[in-house]
Structure 1
């Protein structure tokens, strides 16, 4: 895309700025960002060209327009408008950009570009989180509560956050960005943000207040003024939590078990118990409700709508629509027979990668929920079976990733799934297998979500959820 063909800057919303040249800086960056944003792993509107970018807020954490050797640090909230979308729609993204006259070779892969005009003309603008010097500054901001422009930094009253910790950005397959500080803390910076408290801040704080030690309690966090994003509530931008050094995530443990052909049932059983304990703590800490007939029918309708939408985007789903809808019809039938489901706050995107194990003890992390769903939907009470279905799908995912398939791989997944449900039932009053039709409906809904996700982000993995689709539709 040439500079002349870049999306025009959309009519600006009222923006909060703590950058002396915020609007001018943004105008000079519009073309660069329009090319750079869609290539990022966490960009949610892949496949839809941009028709506009608008500035929500600009805050200089370090001065950016100077000519000296000290790097600048610019925080931006920008709203994107995909082509064909109505004006005012789109997504709000958080960007943290470094500015240097000369970019060190180690930071060259993080380059966004060099503006051809404006206050940053000729200077290198780059992704700041990969720069340990600038990431360290962000930690110091979190250590000292206060406000700067649209940004507000807060800290838990009992949190011990050491100064001077070395910073390293985590790579890998993430929908957000994370930085580890020493072996003490990890910062998760949300990329696509919406007005309202993010569950990854709300739920761990509630669990800490309830005395649940299976989830790291937030040490600090930062937010943006919601008024600057045309919403009444602040936007959660990042959460700092203790880093569970020495732990291994469940995905790595499962793949190791598969490679060594060892039984995973014991670990899965303990993970089921940990999940039930966290569900019980959430039910004590936050409001619960009960879903009755009409509400369950609406849930089945939403599942059918997600299937219809996914089948439009992923043609491979289309032959299985009739079989998959039978699972949702069973949920409707359960509702019409007078069935009900208790609902509460959940993890929302539970899988093996969100579970950490150290010395045989499991912890859960990343309570953000499924990033593709609207924030308000992720904050609604849901039946615990949704989390359980997500973990069951994860055992199948691990088996699907194994490079030496055979009957024993399917047996490994079945044994893990069974052990997980037994562990959960050993703590909870609810046995996940007591209503197989309900579990199947939620597992089908999750598999459809996975198909859409993989088709958009990891096409090489699409065969894994499609294997489940064929089984669930059969």
Structure 2
């Protein structure tokens, strides 16, 4: 079956949202699999190794459910038909489906976690005395991109890491560390799954967390506040019923708490001069690469290079530690009792070893400040020449950036948004990254990060 299945996967995988090699020509593909459940439907798990014509390769995790006959209700999850021999020796076909979208094939993941099973190369690790639900199906979360998640009832959410890399995923590593602190601003880890990888360190295949009930996404709340402000032509941001500043301040406090606990339970290290110099070099290199994609960056080139040079010469005292690594309003949920921070895996496109490196908490601060700018200005894309709306967007961004920093400062005793060359550089570096992303994916949104770079390169606050 292996060759036939490899051919089916070659056709199917490039169309999946989580596949990172879109547009690259495949040189070869191989797969090896094992059965996780032989009940109906049969559930198999496959490591699919893709080699690209331009060099390099990736390994993806693909769970499949198998049926003897086509299932019309699963047509959207259909992967392909694979030739097989029946018990009577007759030729027939087995029909395989994306098991993460087949509810009948989802209960075994949690059953194996409860039992702390080892199945083939896959090892299941429940977390401490965690209560893991059993016997309930999981419903796929349609908004996932680089990974695929299932929600089990109202108790747990299961995340499958599609692209496999040797080593413990930061989301699991940090989740396990913070679970021991009883930090109130995280969703506790319930367990995780590893898979052996050809003699290398095992890769993290999946994790299970407590599901946050009745929560609202930070990005949706923030952008709703911006819409309220735009709708009130004669009111200031602090006068509108949907003012978000109190939430921003509480988010700053929650962020400080998470950073403090990460520093308490995981490694820390003072940043030396070489780290500052290396950070500045990396930012400069990214800028030079971005120029080829976004020529409009040329007008900001001198200012940005000056920002990065200031980092290399910065006298700041920085303690490096584990951080979130990809912090923005889409990574936080607001509940009735406060904020919850999610997804500590960092930027999925970066190699896992880089994502596990110690960094400055200011990188997370910069990410959230950039997110406030995006929330404030996303509706300007529709009316780029509306000066009144642009003024109100700036007012909202300044108010909420300030509130976030005030909350962080009150909780930590550290003003994260003072006159820090490193923070300014992190913001600029993030905006350069955003420029490249928007130029490639949403050209009409490019104005948002470019306007921010005008502010940053000019030395404004």
TM-score, with length taken from structure 1: 0.86
Matching of residues 124-273 of structure 1 within 5 Å: 124-226=95-197, 228=198, 230-231=199-200, 233-261=201-229, 262-273=242-253
Q: Which residue does 2:452 correspond to in 1?
A: 468
* 1:82 and 2:40 aligned: no
Moved more, 212-221 or 304-313: 304-313
Q: Which residue does 1:16 correspond to in 2?
A: none
Offset at 1:124? 2.2
Q: Distance in 2 between matches of 1:461 and 1:138?
A: 40
Q: Distance in 1 between matches of 2:193 and 2:277?
A: 39
Query: SS of the counterpart of 2:66?
Result: strand
Matching of residues 65-80 of structure 1 within 5 Å: 70-80=40-50
Moved more, 405-414 or 119-128: 119-128
- CA change 1:457–1:180 in 2 (3 A) is farther
Residue 391 of structure 2, aligned match among 400, 407, 428? 407
Residue 329 of structure 1, aligned match among 291, 309, 332? 309
Offset at 1:83? 2.1
Q: Distance in 1 between matches of 2:148 and 2:293?
A: 27
Q: Which residue does 1:341 correspond to in 2?
A: 318
Q: Is the 8 A contact 1:217 1:241 kept in 2?
A: yes
Offset at 1:471? 3.9
Query: SS of the counterpart of 1:103?
Result: coil
Offset at 1:464? 3.6
- CA change 1:34–1:436 in 2 (3 A) is same
**Structure 2 residue ranges without an equivalent (≥5):** 230-241, 384-388
Matching of residues 45-84 of structure 1 within 5 Å: 45-55=21-31, 57-63=32-38, 70-84=40-54
* 1:448 and 2:432 aligned: yes
Q: Which residue does 1:393 correspond to in 2?
A: 370
Query: SS of the counterpart of 1:367?
Result: coil
Offset at 1:269? 0.5
- CA change 1:148–1:40 in 2 (3 A) is same
Q: Distance in 2 between matches of 1:61 and 1:95?
A: 12
Offset at 1:40? 1.8
Q: Distance in 2 between matches of 1:118 and 1:299?
A: 58
Q: Is the 8 A contact 2:110 2:133 kept in 1?
A: no
Offset at 1:182? 0.3
Q: Distance in 1 between matches of 2:262 and 2:129?
A: 22
Offset at 1:386? 0.2
Q: Which residue does 2:328 correspond to in 1?
A: 351
Q: Is the 8 A contact 1:225 1:234 kept in 2?
A: yes
Moved more, 463-472 or 442-451: 463-472
Query: SS of the counterpart of 2:166?
Result: coil
Q: CA RMSD in A?
A: 2.3
Offset at 1:370? 0.7
Q: Distance in 2 between matches of 1:286 and 1:326?
A: 34
Q: Which residue does 1:9 correspond to in 2?
A: none
Offset at 1:178? 0.6
Q: Distance in 2 between matches of 1:460 and 1:77?
A: 38
Offset at 1:449? 2.7
Residue 280 of structure 1, aligned match among 225, 242, 260? 260
Q: Distance in 2 between matches of 1:40 and 1:466?
A: 31
Offset at 1:173? 4.7
Offset at 1:195? 0.7
Residue 110 of structure 1, aligned match among 61, 66, 77? 77
Offset at 1:49? 1.9
Q: Distance in 1 between matches of 2:57 and 2:414?
A: 40
Residue 376 of structure 1, aligned match among 341, 353, 363? 353
Q: Is the 8 A contact 1:142 1:155 kept in 2?
A: yes
Q: Which residue does 2:236 correspond to in 1?
A: none
Q: Which residue does 1:10 correspond to in 2?
A: none
How many residue pairs get matched?
435
TM-score, with length taken from structure 2: 0.88
- CA change 1:327–1:32 in 2 (3 A) is farther
Query: SS of the counterpart of 2:82?
Result: coil
Q: Distance in 1 between matches of 2:295 and 2:125?
A: 46
Q: Distance in 2 between matches of 1:118 and 1:443?
A: 59
